[in-house]
Amino acid sequence: MADVQGTCAPGFEGVRDAIASTLDSGLDVGACAAVTVDGELVADVWGGLTDQETGATWGRDTIINVWSTTKTMAALSVLLLVDRGDVDVDAPVATYWPEFKAGGKEQVLVRHVMSHTAGLSGWQDPMAPTDLYDWEKATSLLAVQAPWWEPGTASGYHAITQGYLEGEIVRRVTGQTIGTFFRTELAEPLGADFHIGLAAEHDSRVARVIPPPPLTIPGEVDPQSVAIRTLSNPPLDASQSWEIPWRRAEIPAAGGTGNARSVATVQSVLACGGEVGGRRYLSPATCELVFREQCNGTDLVLGAPLRHGIGYGLPGELLPLPNARTCFWGGWGGSLIIVDLDARMTIAYVMNRMGEGTVGDDRGASVVLAAYQGIATRS
C-alpha cells in the first residue's frame, strides 16, 4: 500500500485509505485530502510524488494550482462584504462598478455573477492566454460587453470570468485586490496556506499539475455556441499554470494555489455557520444565502445538470449529497471541496494528475464517501 502521511481521528481512517487506493491504482501520482468537523482537522493526509521524473515526494506543505476550487475562496470573500453590509447580492453590479452598466447590463445583479447566470461566461473580444495576467484588460472588456443570454434565466459556467467579475466588485468596494483581501481577511487569520496570487517565497513548495488529455470538441458543435465561445477564448492549456506569471497573477476563478488542508480550513468558516476558532467571520443569515437557488437545469457551457446557489453549487443530479444544507465546487481535473453545514464538516481533495473533463471523478468521490462514513461514527 502507498505510503500516506498525516493524521486521522478515529473513524476517519478511511480518508487515508482512499488516498492510498488512488495512489496504488495509478489514478493519482500525488494527492492530499483533508476533513474538518467543527472547524478542527479530523483528517489531514498526503502521499505520492510531485515529480515522477525526479521522484520528489508530496510533502505536508506541498501546494499546487487547484483551478476552479479557487472559486469558493472568491465567493467567500464577497460574502464577507455582504455580511458587513458593503455589498448586497440583490443589487446591480453597477452599484459598485459604474462602468459595468454598459452593454445593457444595468440589471445584472451581484447574485447573477455569483451563480454563473450573468450571461458573461466568456469574453467577446479576443483574449490571449497571457491576457489573464492583465487585470485591467480582463475587467474592462467585461464591463462594456453585452450579455450572451438574458441574465438570471440560465447558468453558463463562467469558467474564468467569474473571478474577475467578483474580484472587481471587491476592489471597487474595498480598494484592495481580491488576493490581498482574501489573504488578510481569511487566509492569515485562519492560518490557511492558500493564495490568490502567489508570492515568490512559496515557489519551492509548488507542485506542477499533470495536464489531462486535450478536450475533444465534436465536429457538429456550433462554433458560435456559448460553450465554444467560453472555452476557446482564451484557449487554456493546463501547463500554463506552471508559469511564474500565472502564479503571481490574481486569477480568482482558476489560479489559486493551496492544498487540501488549506481549502478545508478556509471553507470551515461556512460549514460552521460563520464562526471558527472563536472568531466570527459571517452571520448565520449570510451563510444561508448560499442556499438561495439561482438556477437548476442544463448548464449552457458544461452541458451538465447543475443547481447553483449564491457562490456555490448545490446538491442535485450531478452530485447528490446526504444533507440538504450542503454546497460544493471543484476544479478542472478533479480537485474538490464539499461544505456541509448540517454536519459542520468540510471535505477537500487536491491532486496533481488531472482527470478528464471539468465535473470531477471517482477519486474525489472516494474521499467524500470516507468522510461521511467517518462522521456517521460520531452520531
CATH of the domain at 340: 3.40.710.10
For residue 19, being part of any structural domain is answered with yes
H or E element at residue 36: strand 30-37
- The whole domain housing 79 covers 4-86+178-219+242-376
Query: pLDDT by residue (tens digit) across 1-42?
Result: 789 999 999 999 999 999 999 999 999 999 999 999 999 999
- Are 20 and 12 in contact by the 8 Å Cβ rule? The answer is no
- Are 48 and 30 in contact by the 8 Å Cβ rule? The answer is yes
pTM over 0.85: yes
For residue 300, being part of any structural domain is answered with yes
Q: Would you give the DSSP letter of residue 246?
A: H
For residue 172, being part of any structural domain is answered with no
For residue 168, being part of any structural domain is answered with no
204 assigned to active site: no
- CA dist 360 and 318 (Å) reads 10
Predicted local distance difference test score (pLDDT) of residue 358: 60
Query: pLDDT by residue (tens digit) across 106-128?
Result: 999 999 999 999 999 999 999 99
| Mean pLDDT on 172-185 | 98
For residue 95, being part of any structural domain is answered with no
Predicted local distance difference test score (pLDDT) of residue 216: 62
- Residue 94's alpha-carbon distances to 86, 102, 104, 138, 161, in angstroms, are 14, 9, 11, 17, 16
Q: How confident is the model at residue 378 (pLDDT cuts 50, 70, 90)?
A: confident
**8-22, 178-192, 220-234 — which is least confidently predicted?**
220-234
- Dihedral angle, C-alpha 202, 75, 287, 87, nearest 10 °: 120
For residue 280, being part of any structural domain is answered with yes
Residue 127 in grid coordinates: 483574449
Q: How confident is the model at residue 282 (pLDDT cuts 50, 70, 90)?
A: very high
For residue 33, being part of any structural domain is answered with yes
Number of domains forming the structure of the chain: 1
194 or 221, which is more confident? 194
For residue 190, being part of any structural domain is answered with yes
**12-26, 82-96, 122-136, 219-233 — which is least confidently predicted?**
219-233
**10-14, 133-137, 226-230 — which is least confidently predicted?**
226-230
Exactly one of 21, 25, 68, 268 is catalytic; name it: 68
Q: How confident is the model at residue 224 (pLDDT cuts 50, 70, 90)?
A: confident
